[in-house]
Amino acid sequence: MPEYACIHLWEITDMGHGHDHHHDHAHESAGGDVPAALDMSIPDSELSPSDVSRRGFLRGAGLLGAGAAASVLATPTAAQAAGLPHSHGPAGGGTAKGGFTWLAGDHHIHTQYSSDAQYRVIDQARHGRAFGLDWVVITDHGSVAHAKIGVEKVNPDIRATREELRDLLTFQGLEWNIPAAEHATVFVAPSKHEVEVLKQFETNYDGNLLPATNTPEQNEAAAIAGIKFLGSQVRARKVEAALFLANHPARRGIDSPHEIRNWRDADPSVAVGFEGAPGHQAAGIPAPNGRGGARGYYDNNPSAASFPGYPPESYRTWGGFDWMTSTVGGLWDSLLSEGKAWWITVNSDSHVNYLDQSDRGPGSDFEANGKYNDPVYTGKTLTTAGDFWPGFYGRTNVGASSWGYKQVMDGLRAGRVWVDHGRLIKGLDARVRVAGDRRGATGTPLGGVLHVKRGTSTEITLDIDLQDVPNWAQFVPVLKRVDVIVGTVTGPVADKDAFTAPNTKVVKSFEVSQKTGKVSLTYSFGRLDKPFYVRVRGTDANRTQAGLMGAAVDPVGPKLDVLGDADPWGDLWFYTNPIWVLPK
């Protein structure tokens, strides 16, 4: 088996073909998860010449240390160490080649089982399917009432929806009040134990149910314990998979950098990312036609619970995207520079939808029943509602090996994801290749890790299907520019509250003049002299400004959204997850 097959990210991220056995093929690692070159317990004198060379390169690049074992820099056998089966095949994880089925979805949707929402599960699911989604996750709020009766009560509705809409994948999850932090989507693969696992998780680890006397440190520890609990339920075969995605991470400034790192490191097979853009995008539509607030309800200011290092601009969206994602050289790039596999998504966060004409059913008693009565027609148009229906505006596009629940979760875990607002583009294929290799079966896709020898020339190829049908605002979006963003991989940070990546910047902007069809773009990275990652974004270029780190880093980034004047259709963007290029 070639070396790369043992050290790529897919062994973390893919639960593969479901077998559970011990492997007798040669892994590069010596006695554990860490390859010999990274295992500092092995002296240089006991390494092979190639490992001595590799260690020397990594040492020179500052990439050795304990943190390397928890990143793409190490043999990613965390899944194995956790007792998970994994795949040899090309169909799983970030190193798979071609042939993906791209499935659009939304992992953050509320129903009448949330204290601040109103729709039935089938209402949300039907709308999502009608607006082009292949998968949805029902994530009603964690609360005392929900923990007591909500998890069981919503399950029959979800199971009935699965039966009625067989061409839509409907997951059950919940929105977790992360102890000491914001919210998160937590969901599991369908199983006869799905209610049991989610109920136990919410009861024991929801921030609203923990003792009010807990210290911040105790709550942060509870969050880590909760993520580890989910992993334990997968290993116990209670559910086939469980995932965690932090929601609206910069909204209140209370998700500190070290907490995000700790969640991810608690179990990288469960905690896989955060929202690149929040839901509630209709909340920015100017009055009198809309609420006249902030996209994503990002209208907060620092509080006593906020991380003090975050700048004032972090409390607003930028082109509809969260500051952690939209800032080139910011927090997301800081994680990627470490080599941490940490992904972005978008979703609706649908509670009560813009221009709908319904209200909660009369006579509802949420506290007693754990739900509101079915909604009723009122004839009154909800112009001040802040949400869109699932699939109406934001999509998380997942590269799956085929259509199925597990395949969607595998694709999310592998980071094979690109996201967009307003259907900016129809499709996207991004691959990093050895320069000049145009074979259809080659190239490392989104979320993957390409290992090549130092000095090898590499390039990224982008095939983008331009939009040719109107979006739900009834105009055909036009892609005007594509930006290639590159960051040097600098290894684990000494300060876990670091949130900048000084070596990340936009290295190339492609102006797109073509209006229809497919656009193919190639950018050469030259010969590999240091480990790096690349991510891509695109825009209609309607609203831009220099990024927070300066024009030399991001000359034409997304514009800071203004309270009361943030029409979400006024600028549209797509973002991809990264691909790493590392030396062998």
pLDDT in tens, 156-192: 999 999 999 999 999 999 999 999 999 999 999 999 9
DSSP secondary structure string for all residues of 379-405: S---TT--B--TTSSEEEEEEESSSSH
Domain spans of the chain?
101-583
Alpha helices in 31-164 (DSSP H): 49-60, 78-81, 121-130, 144-145, 151-164
- pLDDT class of 22 with cuts at 50, 70, 90: very low
Helix (H) or strand (E) holding 122: helix 121-130
Question: Omega into 288 within 30° of 0, i.e. cis?
Answer: yes
H/E stretch holding 572 reads none
Residue 38 in this model has a pLDDT that exceeds 80 = no
Give the mean model confidence (pLDDT) for residues 51-70.
69
Q: What is the pLDDT of residues 455-479, one digit of tens each?
A: 999 999 999 999 999 999 999 999 9
Q: How far apart are CA 251 and CA 300, in angstroms?
A: 7
Q: Determine what percent of the chain is predicted with pLDDT higher than 70.
A: 87
- Looking at this protein, which amino acid is placed at residue 62? G
- The answer on pLDDT for 112 being more than 80 is yes
**Portion of the chain with pLDDT greater than 90, in percent:** 80
Comparing 42 with 409, the larger pLDDT belongs to 409
DSSP 227-255: HHHHHHHHHTTSSS-EEEEE-STTSSS-S
Q: Phi, psi at residue 172, to the nearest 5°?
A: -105, 130
Per residue in 202-244, pLDDT (tens digit) is: 999 999 999 999 999 999 999 999 999 999 999 999 999 999 9
CA 64 to CA 580: how far, in whole Å?
Answer: 17
Q: How far is CA 337 from the centre of its chain?
A: 16
**Residues 436, 394: contact at Cβ < 8 Å?**
no
Which whole-number Å values give the CA distances from 364 to 113, 376, 379, in the listed order?
Answer: 11, 12, 20
Please state the rounded mean pLDDT for residues 56-60: 70
| CATH hierarchy code of domain 101-583 | 3.20.20.140
Can you tell me whether residue 515 is helix, strand or coil? coil
Whether residue 119 is predicted with pLDDT greater than 70 in this model: the reply is yes
Whether pLDDT at 81 is above 60:
no
Statement: residue 27 has pLDDT above 90: no
Handedness of CA 447, 462, 246, 252 (dihedral sign): positive
Residue 350's identity, in one-letter code, is S
Q: What is the pLDDT of residue 284?
A: 97
Give me the pLDDT at residue 16, please: 33
Among 33-37, 78-82, 432-436, 440-444, name the most confident range. Answer: 432-436
Instruction: Tell me the average pLDDT across 290-305.
Output: 97
E strands in 193-319: 242-246, 271-275
**Beta carbons within 10 angstroms of residue 172's beta carbon:** 26
**In terms of pLDDT, which residue wins out, 78 or 266?**
266
Q: What does the pLDDT read at residue 69? A: 65
Residue 130 and residue 134: Cα distance in Å, rounded?
10
* Phi, psi dihedral angles at 357 (to 5 degrees): -130, 55
Q: How confident is the model at residue 428 (pLDDT cuts 50, 70, 90)?
A: very high
